[in-house]
Structure 1
């Protein structure tokens, strides 16, 4: 029973390590998301400065309106507010990593390290959930506890049996201790005893408790298996949906937004459109780029969770 308990505790420790690895990976992806957003915000701000400079030039020569300049300044002010929020989010994500890794000297990378979504997760089969449920350390811990409960049941049943005792004693008789009736020889005695468990309430309660514990653990193991299978199906569907969204953004929406911006910029330079149309085209591209970053990070976190559920998450430290 003690050995089985030790095996269960070892499996619990393995499960805890895997869960910690998942939390560290998710925290890093959150930091990655914030840094990528900061890069996009900086690029958008640089574009606004150029647009504002062009609007100022046209206004000075009487070919533009002051409204365009004010609109650009307002937009830059909104970006400054977003930058402050991103700074707070970056610090929060970094502190999460510090807490999870136990490294107080941890610093965020100056540039976000590009991370791609693992492609092999698209090949996860229908039976992957069943196989993962058996291989996970949580399932191993529960199986060991079931065996431990069965051992406790066997031990409780033995408590119904009588206990037999056999004893032997040797007495060294010293001459100073002799009485007139003693022969002076050392004594050797044998004893046999039996203990009959007449009061069975304690034994019955112990057996019932062990039986209930086994049934409870078996139900917990079955619930864990079903939960893993359902979670694998959900994560497979989720990552497939996120991959389709990334494809739509990368192959259709972003190229269209870039083409629209180029056309609007050419029209603005030729005087065929106003500054607000140009600003709206740039803002649309910026929002789609932010959407792409957020979707990419959600896909990374979903992939990490799926690897964790499948028991494939890395504990070697070679992941970002």
Structure 2
């Protein structure tokens, strides 16, 4: 059974080495990435990301809508002739000016300004979302690089263990089966190293897609910060992007209600002009006032629709506040749990597991332990390091989620 496992591991290792030789080293970008700190990566993304440029164009468009909404209606110049025979014709030249009543212009401007507030808020929210994406991608790349270093160290230690077993097999002190086990452990470590190389390439590609440049995180990671008590985070969530945008939508719908009500009052048209009658051989002034009669259309349907959408926006605001509190609570709890686990593993487990492994390996070299004890100590040590790394990654991902939900101070490693 052990021989079969060794053969399988050898075949898989040979396949991986052949693929690596054929494909070359996995890289995320042809250019050599340069190491940057997190604030620099965030600044690059905010300057580069096309979603932010699109949001800026939407703001510019809504600013133009505000200007257009404040324009008054244009006058109308009309020319009218009655009769075709000379001496029996009446010619009228008149200027018609629509006059808006009921505060329509002010209500129209308020609606446009509400849309501008929504567009501006969307731009701010996208900036916060991009910033959170960069934080997540930055620490994902940093974690992938640490995972690659861990895999490299595992492979090197597996080689060290294989050398130690080979010496004891040559001395006839242990069975050749232990050498097969050591080769199998080394083959597993080689596969894990190849997987870690691929994950690092993917993580760097994501970070570079956000920043628009070939960048990589610096080696020194920021310590996991203390986010303070949960109630404070929940209060901050009420000023988060989703809640702010829901408030802007409510204000916009309320402006639509005012506009719909203003449109119930019909506009009048004032007419001034001059009329010439050939029979009278003279001109006379023309004055007129046209007032629509709201007999059939009082804009009641638009008013009811605007009121219904306002109630919908009120419910949406309540839902956004509840969701923000719930999601913030979940992210805060995930962060605290992952942070506490990472700190505990770093201070209480990893160092002890490493000491046990080194003592076990030295004891094996002197014949005090079996190689299975060495493998078990090695797995314990690297398992603890992998758990610490995963807990750190989980903490940073939860922190990035909080960045999307609530305005939190920028991290500066």
Shorter chain as normaliser: what TM range? 0.7 to 0.9
Q: Give the structure, 1 or 2, with the largest relative contact order (CA under 8 Å, sep 6 or more).
A: 1
SS state of the match for residue 192, structure 1?
strand
Give the aligned partner of residue 237 of structure 2.
Answer: 132
SS state of the match for residue 291, structure 2?
strand
Contact 1:9–1:141 (CA<8 Å) still a contact in 2?
Answer: no
Contact 2:250–2:317 (CA<8 Å) still a contact in 1?
Answer: no
Deviation (angstroms), 1:223: 0.7
SS state of the match for residue 235, structure 1?
helix
Deviation (angstroms), 1:243: 2.3
Structure 1 residues 29 and 286: alpha-carbon distance in aligned structure 2, compared to 1, 3 A threshold: same
Instruction: For 1:63 and 1:169, locate their aligned partners in 2 and report how far apart those are by CA, in whole Å.
Output: 120
Deviates most, 255-264 or 296-305: 255-264
Instruction: For 1:85 and 1:246, locate their aligned partners in 2 and report how far apart those are by CA, in whole Å.
Output: 23
Q: Are 1:243 and 2:339 matched, yes or no?
A: yes
Instruction: For 2:312 and 2:281, locate their aligned partners in 1 and report how far apart those are by CA, in whole Å.
Output: 64
Instruction: For 1:51 and 1:145, locate their aligned partners in 2 and report how far apart those are by CA, in whole Å.
Output: 65
- CA-based RMSD of the aligned residues comes to 2.3
Give the aligned partner of residue 300 of structure 1.
Answer: 396
Instruction: For 2:271 and 2:243, locate their aligned partners in 1 and report how far apart those are by CA, in whole Å.
Output: 46
Give the aligned partner of residue 181 of structure 1.
Answer: 280
Structure 1 residues 138 and 234: alpha-carbon distance in aligned structure 2, compared to 1, 3 A threshold: closer
Contact 2:269–2:289 (CA<8 Å) still a contact in 1?
Answer: yes
Give the aligned partner of residue 158 of structure 2.
Answer: 48
Give the aligned partner of residue 261 of structure 2.
Answer: 157
Q: Structure 1 unaligned segments of length 5 or more: list them.
A: none
Contact 2:121–2:245 (CA<8 Å) still a contact in 1?
Answer: yes
TM-score normalised per structure 2: 0.68
Contact 2:168–2:365 (CA<8 Å) still a contact in 1?
Answer: no
Q: Are 1:209 and 2:319 matched, yes or no?
A: no
Q: Structure 2 unaligned segments of length 5 or more: list them.
A: 1-110
Contact 1:167–1:192 (CA<8 Å) still a contact in 2?
Answer: yes
Give the aligned partner of residue 99 of structure 1.
Answer: 209
SS state of the match for residue 126, structure 1?
helix
Q: Are 1:190 and 2:287 matched, yes or no?
A: yes
Residues 50-72 of structure 1: per-residue CA shift (max 9 Å, x gap): 22222212222222322222211
Instruction: For 1:77 and 1:211, locate their aligned partners in 2 and report how far apart those are by CA, in whole Å.
Output: 69
TM-score normalised per structure 1: 0.86
Give the aligned partner of residue 267 of structure 1.
Answer: 363
Instruction: For 1:83 and 1:131, locate their aligned partners in 2 and report how far apart those are by CA, in whole Å.
Output: 42
Structure 1 residues 163 and 230: alpha-carbon distance in aligned structure 2, compared to 1, 3 A threshold: same
Alignment: residue pair count: 303
Q: Are 1:86 and 2:196 matched, yes or no?
A: yes
Structure 1 residues 131 and 33: alpha-carbon distance in aligned structure 2, compared to 1, 3 A threshold: closer
Instruction: For 2:189 and 2:233, locate their aligned partners in 1 and report how far apart those are by CA, in whole Å.
Output: 45
Contact 2:114–2:255 (CA<8 Å) still a contact in 1?
Answer: no
Contact 1:165–1:194 (CA<8 Å) still a contact in 2?
Answer: yes
Deviation (angstroms), 1:147: 2.2
Name whichever structure is richer in strand by fraction: 2
Name whichever structure is richer in helix by fraction: 1
